[in-house]
Amino acid sequence: MSRKSKGRKKSGRKNNRDYEYDPVTKTHRMKPHIAQQRRAANARAKATAQADASKRQRELDRAEDQSPFQRALRRGIPIVNSHDLGPCCATVESLNNKNEAMLAELRGTKFRAIDPVTLRPEVLVIQHWFVRKHGRHMAHFRSFLKDQKVRTTG
C-alpha cells in the first residue's frame, strides 16, 4: 500500500524553508517576509535594468552627437576623406597654418622639375612620401597651391 505523500512539491530553485503550510486552505504559501524580500529584489533588478537601458540609450545619443564627422558637418568644416574619423583641420585658421607649413616643407626639398619653357628647375615635385605623410590634407593643399599659383608636379 502506498502512502499519500504530504507536503509541498519542490520545483526549481525554491527552498522549502521559505514556505509554510496553511491548514485552512491545505496548501503551502510563501512566508510574508520572504515574499516581501523577493518583491523588493525584483523591483531593484527591474530598476537597475531600466537604468542600464536608459544609460545605454544616452550613450548612443551622445555618441551620435559627439561623432567627429557629425561635428565637422555641423560646423561646416571641409571633410577631405569620408573614411577619416574627423576633419583634417578643426578651424579655418589651423587649415591655413597647415597649408603654409606644408608649402614650406615642400619648398625645403631638393627635388625640382624643369620648366619646359624657361628650362629652369622651378616646378615643385610632390613626391609619394609627401602624399603619404600629408594624405588627409592633400585635397585642400592642392587647391591652396592653385590659388597661390605655385606650379607642381606629381
Residue 111 CA, chain-centre distance (Å), reads 42
* Matching residue, cell 626639398: 109
* Domain residue spans of the chain: 17-65, 80-153
| Structure confidence by residue, pLDDT tens digits, 79-96 | 665 555 556 788 888 888
| Amino acid in the structure at residue 39 | R
Distance CA 121, CA 135 (A): 25
- Report whether 8 contacts 28 (CB < 8 A): yes
The residues that bridge with 124 in the sheet, in sequence order, are 112, 152
* Structure confidence at residue 57 (pLDDT): 80
Distance CA 41, CA 49 (A): 12
- Report whether 78 contacts 87 (CB < 8 A): yes
* Structure confidence at residue 119 (pLDDT): 76
| Structure confidence by residue, pLDDT tens digits, 117-130 | 777 777 888 888 88
pTM reported for the whole predicted model: 0.43
pLDDT at residue 43 is higher than 90: yes
Distance CA 110, CA 116 (A): 19
Distance CA 126, CA 107 (A): 10
